[in-house]
Structure formats: C-alpha cells, structure tokens
C-alpha cells in the first residue's frame, strides 16, 4: 500500500478556521474509578485527528461521551463554539456529530437502505417511501465512491468490510460535520483498508472533522495530521503527526520504550517439546526429522480447496490473505467446526480428521477464535468459569487440578482483574483475550490455532500475546496464526502461508515483505509486479 500523503495539504489550511469541536476538561468516573480526567482536544474542519492509547486509556469513553452514550461528570464540549450536552445518541447525530462504533451496528435481516435510514425513514405522505430511501442511499454510496454496494442488499449478505463501510455511510448520512471512528479497520485487511482511507480522505476534503481511533499506528500516520495520546484517562500530549514516529508514539502510549515489539525466539525446551512431538507413528529411519504435528494434503471442503501444509513442532506459521480468502475457514476446518470432506489430514503422523470441535480438542488442538465476544467467552460469567470452560466440557476429570492453577496462569499472562469471580464483560479487550488464551492453555494443546489474536487489544497486551506464542513454540508446540496485520505476520512467523480464494496461493519464508505477501494475496491484480510463480517457493512446504 502506498502511503497516502495529505498531511501537509490539510495541515496548514484549516487551522485558521473556527474549530468544529472543542473538548475542555472532560472528566468521567464509573463507580468512583476515574476513567477520563481533564481531557481536552480540538478538532478543525477537514482535519483527521488520531486518538491513540492503550486499551483502558479512555479512548472509547471519550468517544461515547461525545456520542451521547455516556454523560460527562464535568467539563465542556463545544460544537462550532456552542456548548452542548447530549443525553441520547440521536441528539449527537442531529447536532452533526456521528460515531462509528467498534461493534457492528447493522441489522442483518434488513437492507442496506433500511439500515442507513433507520429511525428517520423518508416518507411520502404518511407512508415510508422505499423508492426515495433506495435512491438516497444509492446517491450517498456513490458520493463515497462505493457505488458497488446495492441499497437493496441484505446487510447479512455483505462482507465484513462492506458492512463496516455501510456503517460509515450511515454516519455520513446524518450530514455529519464531525465523525468519530472507533477502530474502523479492526476487521479489515490490506486493500479494504485502502478503500476506507479513500472514504476518510473524501470526507476530510468536504470539510468534515474526523476523530480516528486506532491501534494500528501505521494508519494513524497515514491518515492523521494531528495525534492525541491518551494514557490512564489523561491526555499525554497532542502533536502534529509530522513531529512523531512509531517509536516516540509508542513511548508516549505506554510510558516506557518497547524495545522488542516482537519478542525474539526463545531457545527450545527439549524436555517438554520434542519428546511429546515424537508420536508413536514416527517413521523409522527418519529419527532426526521430527514428525509434523499437523499435515494436510489436498484437503478441502465447501470453502477450501487443495490445501497442503505442514506444521512442525516449535514452529509459528503465519497465514495471511485478504478478508474472505479462506483463512478463518482453514482454522475452522482443522478444528472440526466446518470439517474437511476431502484430502488427507494427519496429526502426529496419524490420519485424523476431527468432525467436531470436541474431537479436535481431544486431539490436542485449540482454536482461539476471531470474535472473542461471540465465540470465545461467556461474557456474563466469571473469569474462573470462563477459564475452566474447555476443561470442564472435555476433560472434566482434570477440572480441580486446573482450578488450582488458574490464578497462576492468570498472573503469567498478566491479567488485570479484581478477582476470579468478576464477570469478564467488565474487563478490557486485552484482558478478555488473555482469559480466552488461559482457557485454551488449560487443556495443554499441541496445536494452537490463533485467529486474529491481537485484534482490538492494546500494545501491552499484544506484546504479552506475542511472548506467549514464543513460549508455546519453545515448548515444542505448533502455532498457526491468522492475522490481517501484516507486520504481525512478518514479525512473528517462521513461515508465511498466503491464501487466496480458498486456496493456498503460496508460501513465503520468514522476513518476507508486505509487498510480497500482498502480491500473492491479491493474485496478478497488483499493477506492475512480477507473475506470482516467481515468488512462490512451493505450495506444499
């Protein structure tokens, strides 16, 4: 992806105008815990203003106060010079301040147009006019350069990226002068992100002020002219993007330098690792070459075809690809959630094809799902119950042993929580993800499948997840990681598999560049690149 240069152009101009939004001394506490203290921020028309900080730094709270979801305790919010206080999200919309929230807010069984105009359906006389609604939606989508989305499609039928874009279109449709976006790219990958970039820039050119919250620093630098850093509910500083770089920004966010963002490999632990890796079926005469923990050959199902791969003990293999290329489906197939129905699958050199997650767990496979809230956690149950979830279900005999170890494993993962009885819904994203990891580590899996393991979690928690992956590899376990964040795939993987259209498009060695990955992931569509075969080092390892 090319770096989109608009910083200078928009940087000088708008500053002289009256700010569209001024926040002064905003303070908010929940149950006596201050989550936002004396936060101030100024947004000019046409400015893209990045808001960064670790999870729990107060970014989401700030967004939600501006959106009218929460009420502030003190402080002032000025919209074009006028003091406002919203008690309901709709008041914010009507005042020209729209928010795109982190969670998807579409009704799956309603059309795109019905979703966008929900709550203010255009009428003709007494009756809602579908014709007007669809026409207005088509115009809106066209004006954002996303005319390929049809107003009459059901939201359910759209891809994740398209749904995200429809949400932004919905925010725009309120004639918003200010749009705040909370992690708009969390669910998107490469080319989809650049589509979003285009929309953000179009909006900025129209004079819309944009508050852009993201954990992806690269996007912040690509898009934003000004960056505000939050930490522990306070503003650390606001600076022009040009005066900052990755290192200085991360230092401001965490308050300490992160020297090794991606931790180094750990030495293998022979005792734990290679012994268990040597399955009973290890071929004689190949004593030096360990048996792959997982081996697929020509495997496929409705969504996948001709998958061949090997996962060796102690290896971290990254799986890259566009959204919808079959990355998640590959993990689900291995995990038996949507099993393969052709080709061969071997675990420890023995044919095995789990037909349900339960069988997969019994084979020593763990899957940390992409969507921790929907598939990873029981949000209204306690930390302890969540952590014991898999053990209780599959290996009930081990429950009491694991229960004694839970507190220990939480402290290794640096889980920050009040106590073991706290409901996980009150934890930050990073801590929730650690609970999911703890739940799976409790069954001592041999093959760990990770789907977007660091989505929506802060820098500190990310590093903790990376360290854990290294630790698992050192113990001789196999890690298969799907991620949309290419730096993460490149920084952590021993090998990189790239998927496209449900097939493996190729394999790249550690240290591949983002360009090489994208070239495989997008096929021959990248202009001016070599044919894909050149960079493919062999589809089946």
Residues engaged in binding other proteins (CB under 8 A)? 1, 69, 88-90, 93, 101, 105-110, 114, 118-121, 123, 126-128, 148-149, 156-159, 162, 170, 190-192, 194-195, 302-303, 322, 324-326, 328-329, 500-502, 518, 522-527
- Closest CB to other proteins among 197 and 221? 197
- Closest CB to other proteins among 5 and 287? 5
- Closest CB to other proteins among 61 and 325? 325
Tokens for 163, please give them: 């749904």
Give the pairing of strands 495-500 and 97-100.
unpaired
- Closest CB to other proteins among 101 and 440? 101
Instruction: Judge contact between 334 and 365, C-beta under 8 A.
Output: yes
Tokens for 25, please give them: 């001394």
CA–CA gap between residue 319 and residue 306 (Å, rounded): 16
CB of 511 to other proteins, least distance (A): 21
CB of 348 to other proteins, least distance (A): 30
Closest CA to 98 of 116, 111, 113, 110: 116
CA–CA gap between residue 421 and residue 418 (Å, rounded): 8
End-to-end CA distance of the chain: 28
* For helices 459-474 and 429-441, angle between their N-to-C axes, nearest 10 degrees: 20
CB of 260 to other proteins, least distance (A): 29
CB of 72 to other proteins, least distance (A): 18
- Closest CB to other proteins among 114 and 475? 114
- Closest CB to other proteins among 240 and 523? 523
Residues 6+ apart with CB under 8 A from 316: 469, 470, 473, 479, 481, 492, 493, 494
CB of 75 to other proteins, least distance (A): 23
Closest CA to 179 of 187, 188, 190, 170: 170
CB of 338 to other proteins, least distance (A): 10
CA–CA gap between residue 410 and residue 415 (Å, rounded): 5
CB of 323 to other proteins, least distance (A): 8
Instruction: Judge contact between 63 and 213, C-beta under 8 A.
Output: yes
- Closest CB to other proteins among 195 and 258? 195
CB of 101 to other proteins, least distance (A): 8
Closest CA to 462 of 59, 104, 55: 55
- Closest CB to other proteins among 174 and 466? 174
């Amino acid at each position: 992806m090319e770096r989109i240069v608009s910083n200078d152009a928009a940087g000088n101009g708008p500053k002289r105008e009256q700010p569209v939004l001024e926040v002064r001394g905003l303070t908010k506490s929940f149950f006596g815990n201050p989550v936002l203290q004396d936060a101030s921020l100024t947004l000019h028309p046409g400015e893209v203003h990045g808001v960064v900080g670790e999870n729990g730094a107060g970014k989401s709270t700030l967004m939600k106060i501006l959106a009218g979801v929460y009420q502030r305790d003190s402080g002032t919010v000025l919209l074009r010079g006028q003091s406002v206080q919203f008690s309901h999200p709709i008041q914010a919309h009507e005042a020209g301040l729209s928010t795109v929230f982190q969670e998807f807010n579409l009704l799956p069984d309603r059309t795109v147009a019905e979703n966008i105009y929900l709550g203010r359906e255009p009428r003709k006389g007494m009756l809602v006019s579908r014709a007007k609604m669809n026409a207005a939606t088509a115009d809106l989508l066209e004006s954002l350069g996303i005319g390929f989305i049809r107003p009459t499609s059901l939201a359910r039928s759209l891809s994740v990226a398209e749904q995200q874009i429809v949400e932004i279109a919905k925010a725009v449709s309120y004639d918003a002068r200010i749009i705040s976006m909370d992690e708009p790219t969390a669910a998107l990958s490469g080319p989809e992100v650049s589509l979003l970039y285009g929309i953000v820039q179009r909006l900025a050119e129209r004079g819309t002020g944009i508050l852009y919250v993201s954990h992806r620093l690269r996007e912040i630098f690509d898009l934003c002219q000004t960056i505000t850093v939050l930490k522990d509910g306070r503003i650390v500083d606001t600076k022009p993007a040009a005066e900052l770089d990755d290192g200085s920004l991360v230092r401001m966010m965490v308050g300490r330098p992160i020297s090794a963002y991606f931790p180094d490999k750990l030495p293998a632990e022979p005792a734990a690792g290679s012994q268990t890796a040597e399955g009973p079926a290890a071929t004689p005469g190949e004593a030096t070459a360990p048996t792959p923990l997982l081996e697929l050959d020509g495997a496929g199902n409705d969504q996948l075809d001709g998958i061949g791969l090997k996962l060796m003990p102690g290896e971290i293999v990254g799986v890259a690809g566009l959204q919808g290329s079959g990355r998640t489906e590959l993990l689900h197939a291995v995990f038996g959630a949507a099993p393969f129905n052709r080709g061969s699958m071997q675990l420890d050199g023995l044919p095995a094809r789990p037909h349900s997650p339960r069988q997969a767990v019994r084979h020593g496979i763990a899957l940390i799902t992409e969507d921790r809230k929907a598939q990873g956690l029981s949000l209204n149950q306690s930390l302890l119950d969540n952590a014991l979830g898999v053990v209780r279900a599959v290996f009930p005999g081990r429950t009491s042993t694991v229960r004694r170890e839970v507190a220990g494993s939480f402290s290794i993962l640096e889980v920050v929580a009040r106590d073991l009885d706290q409901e996980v819904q009150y934890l930050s994203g990073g801590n929730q993800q650690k609970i999911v990891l703890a739940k799976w580590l409790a069954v001592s899996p041999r093959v760990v499948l990770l789907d977007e393991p660091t989505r929506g979690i802060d820098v500190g928690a990310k590093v903790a997840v990376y360290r854990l992956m290294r630790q698992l590899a050192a113990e001789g376990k196999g890690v298969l990681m799907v991620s949309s964040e290419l730096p993460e795939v490149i920084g952590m993987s021993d090998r990189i598999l790239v998927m496209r259209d449900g097939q493996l498009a190729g394999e790249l060695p550690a240290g591949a560049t983002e360009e090489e990955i994208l070239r495989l992931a997008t096929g021959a569509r990248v202009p001016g690149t070599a044919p894909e075969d050149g960079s493919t080092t062999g589809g089946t390892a």
